[in-house]
Amino acid sequence: MAIKGRFAPSPTGRMHLGNIYTALLSWLSAKRKGGTWLLRIEDLDPQRSKPEFARLIEDDLAWLGLEWDEGGYDDRHYCQSCRGDIYEEYFRRLRAAGLTYGCRCRRADIMASQAPHQSDGRIVYAGTCRPGTKPPFSADEEYQGVATRLFVPDRVISFTDGVCGAQSINLTDYCGDFVLRRADGAWAYQLAVVVDDALMGVTEVLRGDDLLLSTAQQLYLYELLGFEAPAFIHVPLLRNEEGRRLSKRDRSMSMEELRRRYTPEEITGMAAYRAGLTAEPKAISAKELLEADGLNFPWDSVVI
Ligand code: GLU
Instruction: State pLDDT tens for residues 178-222.
Output: 999 999 999 999 999 999 999 999 999 999 999 999 999 999 999
CA distance 219 to 159: 9
How far are the Cα atoms of 40, 75, 122, 233, 267 from residue 243, in angstroms, in the given order? 29, 38, 21, 22, 20
pLDDT in tens, 226-264: 999 999 999 998 888 888 888 878 888 999 999 999 999
Judge if the beta carbon of residue 207 lies within 6 A of ligand 1: yes
Cα(134) to ligand 1 centroid in Å equals: 32
- Counting residues of the chain whose pLDDT is more than 70, the rounded percentage is 95
Enumerate the H helices of the chain as residue ranges. 17-32, 51-63, 84-96, 107-112, 171-174, 189-199, 215-225, 255-261, 264-274, 286-291
Q: How many helices (H) and strands (E) does the chain have?
A: 10, 10
Cβ(186)–Cβ(219) under 8 Å?
Answer: no
CA distance 149 to 182: 9
Cβ(233)–Cβ(162) under 8 Å?
Answer: yes
Q: How many CB atoms lie within 10 A of CB 88?
A: 11
| Confidence band, pLDDT 50/70/90 cuts, at residue 300 | low
**Average pLDDT across the chain, whole number:** 92
| Confidence band, pLDDT 50/70/90 cuts, at residue 141 | confident
With 70 as the cut, is the pLDDT of residue 302 above it?
no
pLDDT at 12: 96
pLDDT at 116: 58
Average pLDDT rounded to a whole number, residues 58-68: 98
Cβ(18)–Cβ(246) under 8 Å?
Answer: yes
Q: Best of 7, 195, 204, 211 to mutate for ligand 1, by most ligand atoms within 8 A of CB? A: 211
> Between 290 and 123, where is the model more confident?
290
The pTM of the full predicted model, rounded to 2 decimals, is: 0.95
Cβ(150)–Cβ(180) under 8 Å?
Answer: yes
pLDDT at 298: 66
pLDDT at 299: 65
- Nearest ligand 1 atom, CA 210: 10
Cα(208) to ligand 1 centroid in Å equals: 8
pLDDT in tens, 83-132: 999 999 999 999 999 999 999 998 888 877 765 567 777 889 999 999 99
Judge if the beta carbon of residue 9 lies within 6 A of ligand 1: yes
Cβ(91)–Cβ(191) under 8 Å?
Answer: yes
pLDDT at 304: 40
CA distance 141 to 185: 16
- Counting residues of the chain whose pLDDT is more than 90, the rounded percentage is 79
pLDDT in tens, 3-26: 999 999 999 999 999 999 999 999
Cα(94) to ligand 1 centroid in Å equals: 23
pLDDT at 123: 84
Average pLDDT rounded to a whole number, residues 73-91: 97
